[in-house]
Structure 1
Amino acid sequence: MQLRSEAAVLMDSTTGAVLYSKNGNEKMYPASLTKIATAIYAIENGNLEDRVVISHNAVNTEGTRVYLEEGEVVTLHHLIQGMLINSGNDAAVAIAEHIDGDIEKFSKSFNEYLKKQIGVSNTHFSNPNGLYGEDHYTTAEDLAKITNYALKNKVFKDIFGTKELVWDGLSWDTTLFTHHQMLKGEVPYSGITGGKTGFVNESKQTLATTAENGNMKLTAIALKADYKRDIYNDTKQLLDFGFQHFKTSYLPKAKTFTVNDKTFQPEKSIVISEPLEGAVYEVTKQGELKVQTQNQDTIQVVQLKRVKEREEEPVSGEPETEDPFTRMNSLFGTIVVMAAGAVYKVTKRKRK
């Protein structure tokens, strides 16, 4: 695959398996893809019906806006819509100030949330909107993790997939349209379910896209392309690669694997990503199941549990445990023998 974007990751939205990576763990500047993280943070840490009073600081935020007015009152839910659909930097700042009081406190709480709740390892955000800063960075893989986590939330998923929305602002009444050309239909591709665009000079073009077909759901992240046409072509290549080579399937709990005379199995039925041409399973002696392609590229690792072996036979001198029916039959046999003996004695006396 020849991608023009400097970094890219294709991930199974359901399992989190990385199906393709180009510089997936390299430090990158995300631009407005930051707002994906801000949105889920606000949804999970705020009340969507809260009425937010817009500050002077939010109104004077540079970049793309939804033209909020100082003193205007907008619900948190509506601000998240304006931030994701129209990429409103002013809405992002208003959200951060409402949740945590100011940008500095927001950044501290925000980064702790991303690490503890989502499990990112190479991300640090210093603002809620993605404006450039040396200490505002992430990776393609972390962004895919954040997007997959957010997609589990229905409110986020609905907004992320919104193509247009009536915006009834104090000074700006309009219809907002998503900036994502594949979601909007300007760049045709079947199965697109959501998306977010980004651009600042330092990060160049950035793009997050989700799509699905009958076999699986995919999350594609592409970072630092020079032109929009390049980043959309890269995204189409990523999605084509995923849909043409992989599927999401189930590994049943009853499935067992044996290695070095040890047997392992899943603790429960789990969802896995598999190559369409068939998966190769490799199990380590620690019980890690590696799901691999035919070329032995690992796409997912699942921890299995060891199956307990049958208890050993009791050693000589130890009493064996009988089942209830054996004990009952033995007792019945003893009673019959005793009864027979009694009858014999009675009969013998009578003969005398």
Structure 2
Amino acid sequence: MIILKNIVLLILIICFINVLIPINVYSHKNTTQPDLASESAIVIDEKSGDILFEKNSKQEMYPASLTKIATAIYAIENGDLEELVTVSENARNTEGSRVYLEEGEQVPLKKLIQGLMINSGNDAGVAIAEHLSGSVENFASDLNKYLKETVGVDHTNFENPHGLFDSKHVTTAKDIAEITKYAMKNKLFKDINQMEEMEWIGESWETTIHNHHKLMGEIPYDGITGGKTGYVRQSGFTLATTAKREYLSVIVVTLNAQLQEDAYTDTINLLDYAFDNYQTAFISAGTHYNVGEDVYKVPDDLYYTHKVDNEVNEQIEEDGILEATDEGTDQVIKSFQLEMVENDDKSVATSAASTDDMERQKVSFFQHYLAEIVLVILLSVGCVGIYYRKNIVNLLTNFR
């Protein structure tokens, strides 16, 4: 009898939830590409690098302070972060946004990078440049070489470390996205990029500096992991934004919006579009595939991005090329060259291939049908609640 009463109580709770919290079975997805006010923009998957949206993304533009993303990652990778930097008169007198450094002040390189990114300190940028390369001109040359040879961008020429206007100081939305993607692989950069505020104690300025990017607090948006703002009259308003939700991490860059509000509206619309429509698939390093008597393995973690509602087929070709294909259109989404396993290791690799493939199939099946499974459970609970709602009074009477 006690057990039956508990069952009835559980049914009552379910009915109560069913009445007060209706289940929204279908969620709205925005599949239409947004119409932007910004002159140039791009959205890329941070993991795969796949382009999810672009508008004039290869057009040369003035980036303003988005330049500081490049300066920061270059300084992190090429400087001694604990070394003291002596501030010059030239750095002290840099115009625009500052962290109010004083001539002769000594500041750790890491702190200057934080001031550069969080408070967009132009004076910190010049101090970093002079410390690493001797002058702003030499630093620009070193930075451009680094961006081309190490990061791999081809349409960027920076004349300074901060982005104050120079007619030759140009880049593209695509290049800024690629620079950000590269930088986000570095833990320190990633940590600084997501800092909303920091206590700043200098010789002439003690305060709490705040990240200027409004989506990191002032305009809440779920999933934001960092960002950088920029503005000079010639560049308009520029934004670089990183964000992550579940199976997707994205980088959004917008250039030359005439109004600050437009830059944020464009960024939000692009984030919504990406999260509504795309997800990242992952193939772990070491996964093996059999092709006749040959065995191929995945050398490094592989990523590709596809539409949320599209079925994807992964197939290995005879030459060891793994193709991810959209089953609906037969279009190849992305292809990867795998490594052939040496003869001595094939017996081990073959058994590993079977296990790896089975595990990946299980994960793929679970991820693909998770929403449907949850939906069936919720609908079942709802049906039970509706049925017993009509009979609950009789049930309670019978068990008194």
TM-score above 0.5, yes or no: yes
Partners in 2 of 1:67 and 1:45 — Cα distance? 24
Give the conservation status (yes or no) of the 8 Å contact 2:243–2:250. Answer: yes
In the other structure, the counterpart of 1:92 is 125
Distance 1:176 1:306, change over 3 A: closer
Shift of 1:209: 0.5
- Spell out the pairing of 1:139-288 with structure 2 (5 A cutoff): 139-183=172-216, 185-251=217-283, 253-254=287-288, 266-267=298-299, 270-279=302-311, 287=321
- Spell out the pairing of 1:59-74 with structure 2 (5 A cutoff): 59-74=92-107
Partners in 2 of 1:4 and 1:297 — Cα distance? 31
Shift of 1:14: 1.1
In the other structure, the counterpart of 1:121 is 154
Distance 1:86 1:302, change over 3 A: same
Partners in 1 of 2:299 and 2:228 — Cα distance? 36
Distance 1:279 1:27, change over 3 A: farther
Give the conservation status (yes or no) of the 8 Å contact 1:52–1:74. Answer: yes
Equivalent AA in structure 2 for residue 216 of structure 1: L
Shift of 1:188: 1.8
2:331 equivalent to 1:302: no
Distance 1:71 1:191, change over 3 A: same
Partners in 2 of 1:213 and 1:278 — Cα distance? 19
Partners in 2 of 1:274 and 1:256 — Cα distance? 25
Give the conservation status (yes or no) of the 8 Å contact 1:118–1:146. Answer: yes
Count of aligned pairs: 305
Match of 1:3 among 36, 60, 68: 36
Distance 1:279 1:228, change over 3 A: farther
2:156 equivalent to 1:111: no
Give the conservation status (yes or no) of the 8 Å contact 2:71–2:161. Answer: yes
Query: Which consecutive unaligned segments of at least 5 residues does structure 2 have?
Result: 1-33, 344-400
Shift of 1:303: 3.0
Partners in 1 of 2:106 and 2:250 — Cα distance? 37
Partners in 1 of 2:196 and 2:42 — Cα distance? 24
Partners in 1 of 2:199 and 2:325 — Cα distance? 46
Give the conservation status (yes or no) of the 8 Å contact 2:48–2:302. Answer: no
Q: Which has the higher helix share?
A: 2
Partners in 2 of 1:182 and 1:293 — Cα distance? 37
Partners in 2 of 1:187 and 1:266 — Cα distance? 41
Query: Which consecutive unaligned segments of at least 5 residues does structure 1 have?
Result: 311-352
Partners in 2 of 1:256 and 1:22 — Cα distance? 41
Equivalent AA in structure 2 for residue 142 of structure 1: D
In the other structure, the counterpart of 1:348 is none
Post-superposition Cα deviations, 1:181-215, rounded to whole Å, max 9, x if no partner, equal 001x2112111110100000111000011111111
In the other structure, the counterpart of 1:31 is 64
In the other structure, the counterpart of 1:315 is none
Deviates more, 1:155-164 or 1:34-43: 155-164
Partners in 2 of 1:257 and 1:18 — Cα distance? 31
In the other structure, the counterpart of 1:22 is 55
Shift of 1:251: 3.5
Shift of 1:255: 5.4
Shift of 1:169: 0.9
Deviates more, 1:286-295 or 1:19-28: 286-295
Shift of 1:68: 0.6
Q: Quote the RMSD (CA, aligned, Å).
A: 2.7
Give the conservation status (yes or no) of the 8 Å contact 2:289–2:295. Answer: no
TM-score (norm 2): 0.70
Shift of 1:146: 0.6
Partners in 1 of 2:246 and 2:258 — Cα distance? 33
Give the conservation status (yes or no) of the 8 Å contact 1:250–1:270. Answer: yes
Partners in 1 of 2:303 and 2:195 — Cα distance? 28
Partners in 2 of 1:272 and 1:92 — Cα distance? 35
Partners in 2 of 1:187 and 1:294 — Cα distance? 38
Distance 1:279 1:148, change over 3 A: farther
Distance 1:73 1:236, change over 3 A: same
Distance 1:101 1:107, change over 3 A: same
Give the conservation status (yes or no) of the 8 Å contact 1:55–1:71. Answer: yes
Partners in 2 of 1:231 and 1:86 — Cα distance? 19
Amino-acid identity (%): 46
Post-superposition Cα deviations, 1:230-255, rounded to whole Å, max 9, x if no partner, equal 11111111111111111111246445
